[in-house]
Amino acid sequence: MSTFNQEELKAIAKLSGLSIGNDELALFTNQITKVLSLIDQLQTVSITSSQANTRNVNIMRTDMVEQESNELILGNAPQSQESYFVVPTILDEK
């Protein structure tokens, strides 16, 4: 079983730039210990190749190319000019 103590949590918090109070320290240490315990349990599960889900199934829809008119697309834009979208300037011109 993996062990996790408050000193390790303090070190991680320091590296992360987080400040953790004493009450949170005990709570988070307990929660992380429980998560590590669950991970240990998962690592002991034996899965044979026949049990593994190895089906190669695409659950996404296939992409379909559809023709749309530029006028229809540009009609949804707040501003357009000729065949282009007009967007605010973000760089200074010199």
Asked if residue 77 is part of any domain, the answer here is: no
Asked if residue 32 is part of any domain, the answer here is: yes
Per-residue model confidence as pLDDT tens digits over 44-82: 887 776 666 667 777 788 888 988 888 899 999 999 999
For 14, the domain range is 6-43
Q: Give the chain's domain count.
A: 1
Query: H/E/C letters for each residue in the chain?
Result: CCCCCHHHHHHHHHHHCCCCCHHHHHHHHHHHHHHHHHHHHHHCCCCCCCCCCCCCCCCCCCCCCCCCCHHHHHCCCCCEECCEECCCCCCCCC
Confidence of residue 34 (pLDDT cuts 50, 70, 90): very high
How large a percentage of the chain has pLDDT more than 70?
Answer: 89
Asked if residue 92 is part of any domain, the answer here is: no
Asked if residue 74 is part of any domain, the answer here is: no
Asked if residue 81 is part of any domain, the answer here is: no
